[in-house]
């Protein structure tokens, strides 16, 4: 966190990362839930198919034994004949929550069978029944092969998704939240410092303003007394000019202006 500058731009950036990480976590969580549901379904189908295959295998090989008993040993005739596949397997991709699962399907090629004459002497019905049993067993084998392949792919995808979900939940999102908390704490501290600084500046300005007011009041008081004395003197001079030289000054001022008297006489 030390390498992340505590700025508001970084705060907005990490808040965007938090939103993106939360959306990614929700999507991956939904994907993991969907994969788990499909995984359980595949496991259940695999179990049921394998349980059924045990009985199908027993029935198919028992029917082969019955056909050999009825028609004799015809394995060499089958192996010596010109065989071409009458059943083939195709694959397609099934998409489950973004995971591609291979699905195998069988289809008939339409090629005529080369061993149609088997069982003409005897045991034809048993050979046909054996063929049907092994056809069903082949379908089960293709089905279990598809399910097993899907199971492996689903298991790997589920592990990767769970790792990503755990990484987002326990590493990425807590780290982003810690960075956001750090930036908010640093920004709050800067705001408190700015507030304290502004209070000190305001206090200094108020003190300076008060000092200026006091100086101004002192200056006005000093000059106000001088102006008042001048006004009084001017008023007395005007009165003397009006009364023809007789002064209306107070008796105290008359006594003070009399230079011949040694003592101040108040009349």
Instruction: Quickly list H helices, 72-172.
Output: 75-80, 124-167
Q: What is the pTM assigned to this prediction? A: 0.58
Q: What is the rounded distance in angstroms from the CA atom of residue 141 to the CA atom of residue 236? A: 137
Q: How far is CA 112 from CA 61, 84, 120, 131, 157, in A?
A: 24, 9, 17, 15, 43
Exposed e or buried b for every residue in 170-187, given b needs 16+ CB within 10 A?
A: eebbeebeebbebbeebe
Model pLDDT, residue 260: 46
Averaged pLDDT in 10-residue chunks for the chain of 267 residues: 78 89 91 88 89 84 79 69 76 83 81 60 72 85 89 90 91 91 87 84 85 80 64 61 53 45 44
Model pLDDT, residue 117: 59
Question: Which pair of structure tokens corresponds to residue 40?
Answer: 């359980």
Model pLDDT, residue 22: 92
Helix (H) or strand (E) holding 64: helix 8-71
Model pLDDT, residue 242: 58
């Amino acid at each position: 966190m030390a390498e992340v500058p505590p700025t508001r731009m970084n705060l907005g950036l990490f808040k965007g990362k938090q939103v993106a990480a939360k959306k990614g976590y929700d999507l991956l969580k939904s994907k993991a839930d969907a994969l788990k549901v499909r995984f359980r379904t595949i496991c259940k189908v695999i179990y049921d198919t394998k349980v059924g295959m045990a009985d199908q295998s027993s029935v198919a090989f028992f029917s082969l034994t019955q056909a050999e008993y009825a028609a004799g040993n015809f394995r060499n005739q089958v192996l010596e004949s010109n065989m071409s596949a009458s059943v083939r397997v195709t694959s397609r991709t099934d998409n489950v929550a973004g995971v591609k699962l291979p699905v195998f399907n069988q289809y008939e090629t339409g090629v005529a069978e080369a061993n149609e004459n088997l069982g003409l002497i005897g045991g034809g019905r048993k050979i046909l029944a054996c063929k049907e049993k092994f056809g069903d067993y082949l379908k089960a084998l293709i089905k279990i092969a598809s399910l097993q392949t899907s199971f492996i792919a689903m298991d790997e995808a589920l592990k990767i998704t769970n790792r990503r979900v755990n990484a987002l939940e326990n590493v990425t999102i807590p780290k982003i939240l810690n960075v956001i908390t750090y930036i908010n704490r640093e920004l709050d501290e800067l705001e408190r410092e700015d507030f304290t600084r502004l209070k000190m500046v305001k206090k200094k300005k108020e003190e300076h303003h008060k000092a200026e007011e006091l100086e101004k009041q002192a200056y006005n008081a000093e000059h106000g007394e001088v102006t008042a004395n001048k006004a009084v003197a001017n008023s007395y001079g005007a009165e003397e000019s009006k009364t023809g030289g007789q002064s209306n000054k107070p008796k105290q001022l008359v006594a003070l202006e009399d230079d011949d008297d040694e003592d101040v006489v108040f009349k």
